[in-house]
Amino acid sequence: MTTAAIAARLVELCSKGDFEGAQKELYAEDAISIEPYATPAFEKETHGLKAIIEKGHKFDGMVEKYHDISISQPLFAGNSFTVVLQMDLTMKGQDRMQMSEICVYVTKNGKIISEQFFM
């Protein structure tokens, strides 16, 4: 799968809120996920597809309701691409909020090998 095909499929799945489906289909088993910084809830780096999926479950468990999810069309540079992810959500015990982040992905051998988020 080319980087452009991976990006198109990622946008398609994430636009529907199917982040886990995107991970299972598009990520390498040894992928890495990098957050802007470590928090009490999440490490700065998460290694391996299984751990990345578990991180997603943990985040979902913190969300009371997703009101809207939108993702931009990708921009490419070689085997990397970036999208802007915007979420309108309510976290448990908090007010409704808007989250926006730049997501950078690197591909190799037809799979995503890393994701990094900037807020």
Q: Are 112 and 24 in contact (CB under 8 A)?
A: no
- Of the candidate CATH numbers 2.60.40.10, 3.40.50.12280, 3.10.450.50, 3.40.50.620, the domain formed by 3-118 belongs to 3.10.450.50
* Predicted model pTM: 0.93
E-strand stretches of the chain: 27-34, 45-47, 63-71, 75-77, 80-91, 96-108, 111-118
**Residue range 1-58, pLDDT digits in tens:** 999 999 999 999 999 989 999 999 999 999 999 999 888 888 999 999 999 999 999 9
| Distance separating alpha carbons of residues 18 and 112, to the nearest angstrom | 16
The stretch 73-87 carries a mean pLDDT of 97
| Residue of 103, 99, 105 whose CA lies nearest to 118 | 103
